[in-house]
Chains A and B, each alone.
Chain A
Amino acid sequence: MKLKTTLLASVIACAPMAVLAADLTIGFSQIGSESGWRAAETTVTKQEAEKRGITLKFADAQQKQENQIKALRSFIAQGVDAILIAPVVATGWDEVLEEAADAEIPVVLLDRTVDADKSLYLTAVTSDLVHEGKVAGEWLVSEMNGANCRIVELQGTTGSSPAIDRKAGFEQGIAGHDNLQIVRSQTGDFTRAQGKVVMESFLKAEGGENICALYAHNDDMAVGAIQAIKEAGLKPGEDIKIVAIDAVPDAHKAIADGEMNATIELTPNMAGPALEALEAYLADGTEPAKWIQTESKLFTAKDDNLAIFNAKKDLGY
């Protein structure tokens, strides 16, 4: 309900400003709304366009590549100034990207990349999964400050690239610090329910007092694990340090409540850097780098998590 109202509000707010600015018209082909993060990305993209006075033409592809290709062709036919696309798959884009290039419409990839010639798109704005894990590991290293720490890890879905990369990044982050040791690592399938179940078994297998920290590949699993820790009579955030990735609103709330220690943001704001690069390119032809890496920002108790929670909670997460 809230999501709809927000969207409606932003559309209404958007309309007159766009007419005033009337400078740029940009098409945005979104994959769909399969997750909360995706919904937040859509909301933020609309907000970023509105902020800059850009007219955004939005197309939801409902997880289908052919819908995205159709949307791109329609954008080209309408003669938009630029195109943002979050591609649903990596392959099969060459033809439509060439059509865009022929029409001299720059294309920016959001969140994911494609297997196509780099000259066919202006730049790609994505996060770095390995880097996210590394930030989490480095945070724990500094937090422990040399003290011994037995870590349990909740992995993402076995075999998925976020699970592999975030695990590798974390291991890089703690490499060379023998006081930190991963003692148990098991998959929680990126879900709250499994996060809780697996944490329960960690607590029993290791003994809750022998676990010093939890690293979860996403916040959902961490939120589930927090409940397991509480039910075991321990204080999450104190007895067991918790660091996870994504920075969804519930994680900020948990940090504000002192039940979680840190989360690394996978920002839904891919559009901000993308639009910035586009504006510069369209204004004076400044070529951006081929890959714009979004910031993997670390949030801890030092930040005003309650305020961030309130700001984020209506983004559609």
Chain B
Amino acid sequence: MSSPPVGPRPSILKRIMPQLLILGVALALNVAVFPEFFQIDFRNGRLFGNLIDVLNRGAPVALLCIGMTLVIATKGIDLSVGAVMAIAGAVAAAMVVEGHGWGTAVLAALAAGGLCGLWNGFLVAVLRIQPIVATLVLMVAGRGVAQLVTEGKILTFDNPGLIHLGAGTVAGVPTPILIWLALAALVTFGVRKTALGMLIEAIGINERSSRLAGINSRVLLICVYLVSGLCAALAGVIVAADIKGADANNAGLWLELDAILAVVIGGNSLLGGRFSIIASLIGALIIQSVNSVILLSGLPPEFNLVIKALLILGILVIQSPRIGNFIYLLRASGPQPQPEPPHSTQEEAAR
């Protein structure tokens, strides 16, 4: 009776290495167009520099991709997050305009986002509507709801507490950075220190098997959409606070696509299963770095979309399985068809 070898657990670093490399390249591009990219000053009581901007401006997509990663891990997708951002921002703004405190306003916004998440979860988990269709409903209708709340205008406010969440700093660090880092840590900890992460992955890989193993897939599915809604609500509050106003037409517009892209760049499969929130977050930073290259390059705006498309295309091509195999072959020399499965110690290396 052989006892199985206790290999080292697959390290997180190894998992996120491709994303880190791409982020490195994206940052290097920034330096190429703007040599002082990494310079950080302390100005007007806050850290001031392009790198800080990348972290700060990446906050909405970073927040969205935390929830999106979990949703995608269950083989789902949440198209409604952009619209939910608009709703949450509108609710928060309307609350402070009516004289409530910023804490109440944030809670109300989170409640609105949570409600949206529960609605999506209900459609997906209970009514068994395909996630892409189920969340499309709110994607289309949500912005209308937000406009009802703001009565069609940019609802401006000057509540210092609320504004602080978007434009303020804590010890010189812009608050949004701290918020997304904290939420990322909280959620990562929440899914990895409990069994939640594994159960979510199990559902995404094989829901039938998971159900037969006694996993309550319905509740877990509703949960991930709820988390996605809450993340979107927080992102919406930050975006509104940043400009001291809730812009129902534009807040979070198309950000759902950036969030999905971040998850994909993070190497998470759209077919569900194993996920890494950290890798998705790096994906969000990669996207923001690409945006930064465009802004710093000084090229006319007509080139924006072309440049972004080319850079993203490049990233996805590099990550594609074929190219990955090619690079692997270059490194390992000698063709490597998949070895026959059982009792070879080579499995780990070959994958």
Contact = CB atoms under 8 A, between A and B. Distances in A.
Contacts of A1: 151
A196 B153 contact: no
Interface string B294-337: 01101011101000000000000000000000000000000000
Contact of A36 (B46, B154, B250, B300): B154
B242 A158 contact: no
Nearest to B300: A185
Interface in A235-260: 250
A34 B301 CA distance: 25
B249 to A, nearest CB: 8
B154 A233 contact: no
B43 A233 contact: yes
A204 B53 contact: yes
B152 interface: yes
A39 B242 contact: no
A68 B73 CA distance: 48
A201 B242 contact: no
A196 B242 contact: yes
Interface stretch (A127-135, A137-145, A224-232): A224-232
Contacts of B57: 197, 200
Interface in B248-297: 250-251, 292, 295-296
A186 B297 CA distance: 10
Nearest to B42: A233
B239 interface: yes
B189 interface: no
Interface string B138-168: 0000000000000111101000000000010
A235 to B, nearest CB: 11
Interface residues of A, number: 37
A191 B301 contact: no
B243 A205 contact: no
Contact of A158 (B34, B36, B298, B304): B304
Contact of B243 (A196, A198, A200): A196
Contacts of B250: 189, 191-194
Given A193-B243, A233-B44, A36 B153 contact: yes
A186 B301 contact: yes
Nearest to B50: A204
Contacts of B153: 36, 39, 316-317
A205 B152 contact: no
Nearest to A234: B44
Nearest to A33: B152
Contacts of A204: 34, 36, 49-50, 53, 296
Nearest to B39: A204
Contacts of A200: 53, 57
A247 to B, nearest CB: 15
Contact of B298 (A3, A194, A205): A205
B231 to A, nearest CB: 18
A33 B249 CA distance: 12
B247 interface: yes
A184 interface: yes
A205 B50 CA distance: 9
A55 to B, nearest CB: 26
A233 B167 CA distance: 13
Given A184-B298, A205-B296, A232-B43, A39 B152 contact: yes
Nearest to A3: B151
A189 B243 CA distance: 14
Given A196-B242, A200-B53, A204-B53, A158 B301 contact: yes
A223 B302 CA distance: 23
Given A158-B304, A231-B46, A232-B44, A192 B243 contact: yes
Contacts of B44: 230-233
Contact of B247 (A185, A186, A193): A193
Given A192-B247, A193-B242, A155 B301 contact: yes
Contacts of B36: 204
Contacts of A41: none
A192 B155 CA distance: 12
A158 B299 CA distance: 13
B245 interface: yes
B75 interface: no
A302 B44 CA distance: 30
Interface in A198-234: 198, 200-201, 204-205, 220, 223-224, 227, 230-233
A162 to B, nearest CB: 14
Contacts of B302: 158-159
Nearest to A40: B153
Given A185-B300, A223-B243, A230-B44, 14 more contacts: A3-B151, A36-B153, A158-B302, A187-B301, A187-B304, A192-B245, A193-B247, A193-B250, A196-B242, A198-B295, A201-B50, A204-B50, A224-B243, A250-B156
21 contacts: A36-B152, A39-B152, A39-B153, A158-B302, A159-B302, A186-B301, A187-B301, A192-B247, A193-B239, A193-B242, A196-B243, A197-B57, A201-B295, A205-B295, A205-B298, A223-B243, A224-B243, A230-B44, A231-B46, A233-B44, A250-B156
8 smallest beta-carbon distances between A and B, as pairs: A233-B44, A201-B295, A187-B301, A192-B243, A191-B250, A233-B43, A36-B153, A158-B301
Interface of B: 34, 36, 43-44, 46, 48-50, 53, 57, 151-154, 156, 167, 239, 242-245, 247, 250-251, 292, 295-296, 298, 300-302, 304
